[in-house]
Amino acid sequence: MTEQLKAQFTQRIVELQKRIGAIHRDFADGRDADWSEQAGERENEEVLNALESEAKIEIQHLSNAITRMENGNYGICQACGEDISPQRLQVQPAAEKCIQCAE
Ligand SMILES: [Zn+2]
């Protein structure tokens, strides 16, 4: 079951990396934009930057979760050592802490 989840996480990481790649392509296209569109482009860049850092954070969480699976620590709270509830893991499979410690 963990193997399945690991495959899911790995696939998600690949998707996120593709998305970051697409964002970088958008940046490259943006450089050729007309002067009249510059203001809009700049706003757009901020949005793309935010999306990119979000994607990077998620990749980090997912790869941490994969490492924990490999070490047999997956589903265990990194703060108090208690099991993270299955309901929580269902909503947030890459959760590192139990609900009590995350709050
Ligand atoms: Zn905890």
Each residue of 46-86: pLDDT tens digit? Answer: 888 999 999 999 999 999 999 999 999 999 999 999 999 99
CA of 8 to the centre of ligand 1 (A): 25
Same domain, 85 and 68: no
CA of 103 to the centre of ligand 1 (A): 10
Distance CA 42, CA 47 (A): 9
Same domain, 14 and 63: yes
Same domain, 38 and 53: yes
CA of 73 to the centre of ligand 1 (A): 13
Give the total number of structural domains in the chain.
Answer: 2
pTM: 0.78
- Residue 18 sits in which domain range? 2-72
Residue 44, pLDDT > 90, answer: no
Same domain, 29 and 63: yes
Q: CB within 5 A of ion ligand 1: which residues? A: 77, 79-80, 98, 101
Give the 3-state secondary structure of residue 15.
helix
Q: Tell me the one-letter amino acid at 9.
A: F
